[in-house]
Amino acid sequence: MENKIKWFLIFIPLLTYSEPVKIDLSVIDKEFRSRIENVAGIKIDNAAEFFENLVTIVERNDSTRFSELVNYPITIILSGKKIKLKTSKQFLFRYSKIVNDNVKNAVQNQKFESLFVNSKGAMFGNGQIWFASVCEDSNCKESKVKIIAINQ
C-alpha cells in the first residue's frame, strides 16, 4: 500500500501539467497575418508567442507570470470602480478578482486565428483581455507585447 501512495504522489504533478499551446504559423492565412501586423502593429511571431504564453499561464493559474505580461500602470474596473494599478505587486494582490472565470474562459476558448484586431491591438473573447505592442524605449526601437486592458 505504501508503494502505491508514493507512486500516486509522484504522478500528481504530472496530472495537473498541461502541454504549452503551440501555434503553427504556416497555416495562418495572409489576411489575418496582415491585420495583426499592419492594423494592430504587432509582429505575427510576437503575437503568436504572447498568445501561447497567456493561454498556458491561464491554464496553470500562474498569477506571477500573468502579472509580468501586464503593461503598468493599468486601469481595471472592479465592482464598478476604476482602480489604477501601478505595479505587479498591486495586481497580484487583486489577481483572483481581476482574472476571474469570465476572463479565464475567454482566454481558454479563444482561437488565435479568430482574434478581433483593430488599431488598438487584439482582443480575447468579447474584450476581456486586450494586448498590443508597447514601446520599451523613448524611440520605440524596442517593443514588447503586453496586456493593455482587462475587462470582466
Domain ranges of the chain: 2-150
Q: pLDDT category, 29, cuts 50, 70, 90?
A: confident
Interval 21-40 mean pLDDT = 85
Q: Give the whole-angstrom CA distance, residue 111 versus residue 115.
A: 7
Q: Other CB atoms closer than 10 Å to residue 6's CB: what's the count? A: 10
The CA distance from 17 to 113, in Å, is: 25
Return the pLDDT at 10: 47
13, pLDDT greater than 70: no
Instruction: Determine the average pLDDT of the residues in 84-88.
Output: 97
Alpha carbon distance 128, 138 (integer Å): 29
Q: How confident is the model at residue 78 (pLDDT cuts 50, 70, 90)?
A: confident
Tell how strand 74-78 and strand 116-118 pair up: unpaired
pLDDT over 90 (residue 79): no
pTM of this structure: 0.84
Strands (E), 8-62: none
Contact call for residues 91 and 85 (beta carbons, < 8 A): yes
Q: Is the pLDDT of residue 8 over 60?
A: no
Work out the average pLDDT over 67-74. 98
Edge to edge, what strands does the sheet with 143-150 contain? 116-118, 121-124, 129-135, 143-150
* Mean model confidence pLDDT for the chain: 88
pLDDT score recorded for residue 12: 47
For residue 60 the three cell numbers come to 496553470
At 77 the pLDDT is: 84
Other C-beta atoms within 10 Å of 64: how many? 11
In this structure, the strands spanning 129-135 and 143-150 are antiparallel
DSSP reduced 3-state for 99: coil
Residue 73, preceding peptide bond in cis (omega within 30° of 0): yes
